[in-house]
């Protein structure tokens, strides 16, 4: 009986580790950090500093079919859940000089940091890296001036060529890490359409490509892994309640991995990730050079990743 119990435990550990490492391998990307008026800087050219704080709660780990992932503990199999506290400090320069196709060049630098709380803590299969620095993001971009109408701006847009550099904390003994340990290319197109002077529709559409991780999670037994390709989208619509002061609206995001992840160059079945989220939000213009964004998101339809709730706070300051 004891031998059979140990054998069952070993098989369960292997299955949970295999499920987690054959999926759950996309890098940390922009899910809900940006929202309203995303098509252009809120205060024109110049230097910006931005601070993001995001609280992710009750993130139940899901398998490839959207069911709860259960991990072995001394009490038996229990549903796995993760909470995360995430911060990002961002420095942006928007020039007033045209570079190509009428777009004005700019540069974006972002440094994330995160901490995880994995439940149940005494599970035998999964653990989280206590290091908190994430991967440095570098993004040169082109910003176009707003297309103007009789009553103000009608449309504004930007294209950024984001790169995620593998500088964050990573440990192949842990299933959850702030850093990914591989390079990612994550370009996007962001735009805002002014449907009326008060009503706006914004989006940010990303494509994600990932290089190989040459030091994957140890339980795979693989020499290398490669996360699949994906698209992800932030979207938001807001209405101006107080002129030049307050906009209220809805915001959401969607992520869909469309190629399989790989282990040692071979496709891994049932490894594609997805999630959809939506909720309310607002932007408050403290002054012409200071802006506060608040967003809430409830996730659903998650596969091969956590499904929980997010609260996002973002403060933008423009140096005059």
Task: Supply the pLDDT for residue 6.
Answer: 35
| 201 strand-pairing partners | 193, 237
Task: Supply the pLDDT for residue 20.
Answer: 52
Residue-wise pLDDT tens digits, 264-273: 999 999 999 9
Asked if pLDDT for residue 106 goes beyond 90, the answer is yes
pLDDT band per the 50, 70, 90 thresholds, residue 123: confident
Task: Supply the pLDDT for residue 23.
Answer: 59
Asked if pLDDT for residue 152 goes beyond 70, the answer is yes
Most confident by average pLDDT, 8-17, 44-53, 66-75: 44-53
pLDDT band per the 50, 70, 90 thresholds, residue 1: very low
Q: Which two tokens stand for residue 318?
A: 């423009």
Helix (H, G, I), strand (E, B) or coil at 39: coil
Q: Which two tokens stand for residue 82?
A: 């993760």
Percent of the chain with pLDDT over 90: 81
Backbone angles phi, psi at 16, to 5 degrees: -65, -45
Q: Which two tokens stand for residue 236?
A: 């938001």
Asked if pLDDT for residue 18 goes beyond 80, the answer is no
Task: Supply the pLDDT for residue 2.
Answer: 42
Give the pLDDT mean for 162-179: 94
Asked if pLDDT for residue 22 goes beyond 60, the answer is no
Among residues 31, 51, 145, 32, which one has the least CA distance to residue 91?
A: 51
pTM: 0.92
Burial (CB < 10 A; 0-12, 13-18, 19+), residue 304, is buried
Q: How far apart are CA 313 and CA 154, in angstroms?
A: 27
Q: How far apart are CA 304 and CA 20, in angstroms?
A: 8
Average pLDDT, the chain: 91
Among residues 231, 273, 235, 228, which one has the least CA distance to residue 253?
A: 235
Asked if pLDDT for residue 72 goes beyond 90, the answer is no
Residue-wise pLDDT tens digits, 194-245: 999 999 999 999 999 999 999 998 888 899 999 999 999 999 999 999 999 9
Cβ 144 vs Cβ 103: under 8 Å = yes
Give the pLDDT mean for 110-135: 90
Q: Which residues contact 92 (CB under 8 A, 6 or more apart)?
A: 41, 47, 48, 49, 50, 106, 107, 108, 109
Q: How far apart are CA 58 and CA 82, in angstroms?
A: 6
Task: Supply the pLDDT for residue 8.
Answer: 35
Burial (CB < 10 A; 0-12, 13-18, 19+), residue 102, is exposed
What structural domains and CATH numbers belong to the chain?
2-318 (2.40.160.40)
Q: How far apart are CA 226 and CA 286, in angstroms?
A: 44
């Amino acid at each position: 009986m004891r031998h059979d119990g140990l054998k069952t435990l070993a098989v369960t550990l292997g299955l949970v580790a295999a499920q987690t490492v054959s999926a759950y391998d996309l890098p940390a990307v922009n899910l809900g950090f940006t929202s309203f008026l995303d098509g252009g800087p809120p205060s024109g050219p110049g230097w910006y500093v931005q601070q993001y704080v995001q609280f992710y709660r009750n993130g139940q780990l899901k398998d490839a079919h959207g069911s709860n992932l259960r991990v072995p503990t001394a009490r038996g199999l229990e549903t796995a859940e993760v909470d995360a506290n995430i911060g990002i400090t961002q420095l942006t320069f928007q020039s007033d000089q045209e570079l190509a196709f009428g777009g004005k060049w700019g540069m974006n630098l972002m440094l994330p940091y995160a901490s995880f709380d994995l439940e149940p803590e005494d599970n035998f299969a999964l653990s989280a890296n206590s290091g908190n620095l994430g991967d440095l993001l570098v993004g040169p971009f082109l910003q176009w001036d707003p297309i103007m109408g009789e009553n103000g701006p009608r449309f504004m847009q930007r294209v950024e060529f984001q790169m995620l550099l593998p500088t964050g904390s990573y440990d192949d003994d842990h299933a959850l890490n702030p850093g990914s340990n591989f390079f990612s290319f994550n370009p996007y197109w962001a735009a805002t359409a002014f449907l009326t002077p008060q009503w706006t529709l914004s989006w940010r559409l990303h494509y994600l490509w990932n290089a190989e991780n040459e030091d994957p999670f140890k339980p795979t037994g693989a020499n290398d892994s490669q996360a699949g390709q994906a698209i992800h989208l932030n979207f938001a619509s807001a209405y101006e309640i107080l002129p030049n002061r307050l906009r209220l609206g809805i915001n959401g995001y969607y992520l869909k991995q469309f190629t399989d992840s790989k282990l040692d160059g071979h496709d891994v079945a049932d490894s594609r990730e997805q999630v959809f989220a939506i909720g309310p939000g607002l932007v408050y213009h403290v002054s012409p050079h200071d802006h506060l964004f608040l967003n809430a998101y409830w996730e659903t339809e998650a596969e091969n990743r956590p499904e929980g709730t997010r609260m996002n706070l973002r403060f933008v300051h423009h140096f005059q």
